[in-house]
Amino acid sequence: MKNGKIAYVYIGGRMEPTEMINIEEVMIIDWMSGVQKSIVKHEIRNPVKQLSPGRLGMAEPGAVVLTRTLDGGLVVGMTRDARLDVFSAEGLKLRTLDTGWKAIPVTSKYRAEYKAFLNRRAIAEGRKPSTADPLLPDVLDILQNVWTDTEGNILVCKKTESLENCPLVIRAYSPEGDFLCDFEIDPGPFVLNANWRFKRVCLTGHGVYGLLEFKDDPDGYLHLVRTVFQPQ
């Protein structure tokens, strides 16, 4: 970040009988002095259940997502919240961006489709499909990830019900927080994965780079792919 500051997420938590409770705290540290401060803390509750003796299953956990602003500040969001906060490098909150997106309820149809999706993936990877129903929350996450481009625009990627052949649904804001537009990136022959865990998509001044696999590749080999947007 600006002026020798570094942002990181401290993760702690505790286990309850039916929940894993993660505490994710965003910290800013000055690398020269070592002085650090907390700027925001989220408590994230994830349902768990016992699948077999000594084996627990947990729904996909929510998480904090971060990106650096063009001027060295920080955008902080949480996958289960429609809003993101913009901070200065010193940790001063400058503004809030509210996407207005609503969480999508997890229906019985989605649960069946998700189980079938996991079983297809298990077969493709040479594993035995599970007979147990996957543990899912009552609603899906709202956000997948957040990035900034080389002009400082803030790009927020939405979580959708799509399980395969998923386009990226993105809402763009100016560096000042003004709404610009909504757009989609079609995956073409590839699997587009914008999940915050994998960091497989990177926006640069030379285009969008991704570590992507072909949809029909059972081995899931990753390929370095570059996409350049052309003005219409």
pLDDT reported for residue 119? 86
Instruction: Report yes or no: 132 and 56 within 8 Å, Cβ to Cβ.
Output: no
For 39-55, the pLDDT digits (tens) are: 999 888 887 776 666 66
Label each residue of 97-147 as H, E or C.
EECCCCCCECCHHHHHHHHHHHHHHHHHCCCCCCCCCCCCCCECCCEEEEE
pLDDT reported for residue 78? 93
Q: Which residues contact 207 (CB under 8 A, 6 or more apart)?
A: 226, 227, 228, 229
E-strand stretches of 53-192: 55-58, 64-68, 74-78, 83-87, 93-98, 143-148, 154-158, 168-173, 179-185, 190-191
pLDDT of 118 over the 60 cut: yes
3 state DSSP class of 26: strand
Mean pLDDT over 202-229 rounds to 80
Which of 13-27, 70-84, 195-209 shows the lowest per-residue confidence on average (mean pLDDT)?
Answer: 195-209
3 state DSSP class of 67: strand
Tell me the CB-side half-sphere exposure of residue 102, using CA atoms within 13 A: 3
pLDDT of 232 over the 60 cut: no
Q: Name the band, by pLDDT with cuts 50, 70 and 90, for residue 178.
A: very high
3 state DSSP class of 109: helix
pLDDT of 88 over the 70 cut: yes
Q: Which residues contact 11 (CB under 8 A, 6 or more apart)?
A: 22, 23, 24, 25
pLDDT reported for residue 165? 72
pLDDT reported for residue 205? 67
Which of 24-28, 59-63, 178-182 shows the lowest per-residue confidence on average (mean pLDDT)?
Answer: 59-63
For 119-171, the pLDDT digits (tens) are: 887 887 778 887 777 778 888 899 999 999 888 999 999 988 888 777 889 99
Mean pLDDT of the chain: 86
pLDDT of 10 over the 80 cut: yes
Mean pLDDT over 75-85 rounds to 94
* End-to-end Cα spacing for the chain: 34
pLDDT of 105 over the 60 cut: yes
pLDDT reported for residue 229? 66
pLDDT of 191 over the 90 cut: no
Q: Name the band, by pLDDT with cuts 50, 70 and 90, for residue 24.
A: very high
